Amino acid sequence: MRPAFSLIFFTSLSGLGFGLATVLGFGLITAPSTFWWLVQNGVALGLIGAGLLSSTVHLGHPERAWRALSQWKTSWLSREGVLASLAFGLLFFYALDGYLNGDPDGGGNMMLGMAVAVISLVTIWCTAMIYASLKTVARWHHPLTPFVFIGYAMAGGLVLAAGLDALAMGEASVMTQPALLALLVAAIVAMIWSRQAGAEGSGSTPESATGLGELGPVRLLMSPHSEENWLQHEMGFIVARKHADTLRRISLALAILLPVAALLAAPASALVMVVAVVIHLVGVMVSRWLFFAEAKHTVMLYITASGTRPAPTKTKRAFFRRPFFQVQIPAYRASKILCCWRMAASTSAATWSGWNVVRMRSLTLVASSTSTGLLSSSHSFGEERSATSG
């Protein structure tokens, strides 16, 4: 699938925000004052809001985004929208309650905080299930896909909470050890998922996709399009394996290794922790880009024999240079092609014979007119000669 940067920003920013909201809702960190309480909740609200706004950019008609909330009984996308809106509203009231009625060191209603934490986790799960529920994309349809999303969200939320705590307290946060553990778990889950997800394919083949498997092997005769169409552009995106492996190592280093090094080296430094959060977020975005780029939709089986997108043809010369695949096709398809060829040949023959008839008629008319002219000319010449001789 072609990575959409709006979805990359949405899943990364909102995941980080919901992770921090989960930490705040469970009361894992406390603020030294109501000001820092508002700062902590404001950062979570800002990240969630930025993620939700970026998701509307992906829509063709953002003004109709509210309609996506109506199908919550059957659609994971609708469930995500409903729960995200609910979590955002509850977090706002949780922050307001802690500011107005909480303790001097900050804090909100415990039951409201638990609701915020639980709904935030469920929202992350629904976001992941939008992709994990698609059987047509083998890379996404894996049991560990939701846990990858939750692992990165909780790891980022704990690292951000440790950074905010260090910024407010000026010392190492109590969230340092939980953040290290969360980063380790997220790395393990992500590596297992990257090795196993999509390894067995979707189970679909050109034979099963076309329903012609009983007639023989189905392979591509020639590309059905002379240039790249929308399906090839959006669902046939290809990233080379060597580039994917390089980007995967980069994302692992940015999202996991460097934040771990920062937490171990200088957990009390607010500047180091802020940089660690930013680096972690960049690493998650790189990982999310790979998440979309490595996904292959089954619909590509109708366009190419292997389910991958052929190289785009930007010029007419490049199109004629494209190799022609000599492939085996079912007998009845060959008969159809032969029948179409005979029809075209017969049409051409009929057209040619019709043209010959017209041409012959034209020649006949010309010949008749010419002979008539000659006869009339000879008759006139004979009369003139008779008059002269007389």
pLDDT of residue 342: 54
**Which residues touch 29 (CB under 8 Å, ≥6 apart)?**
23, 40, 161, 164, 165, 173, 174, 175
pLDDT of residue 353: 53
CA gap 298, 203 in Å, rounded: 9
Angle at 105 between CA 99 and CA 108, to 5 degrees: 45
Binned average pLDDT, 10 residues per bin, the chain of 390 residues? 85 94 91 88 94 80 78 89 94 90 67 94 95 89 94 95 89 89 95 85 74 78 71 72 86 95 91 93 94 83 55 41 39 49 54 52 47 43 44
- Specify the pTM: 0.73
- Name which of 71, 63, 54 is nearest 14 in CA terms: 54
What are the sequence ranges of the domains in the chain?
A: 1-133, 165-351
pLDDT of residue 31: 85
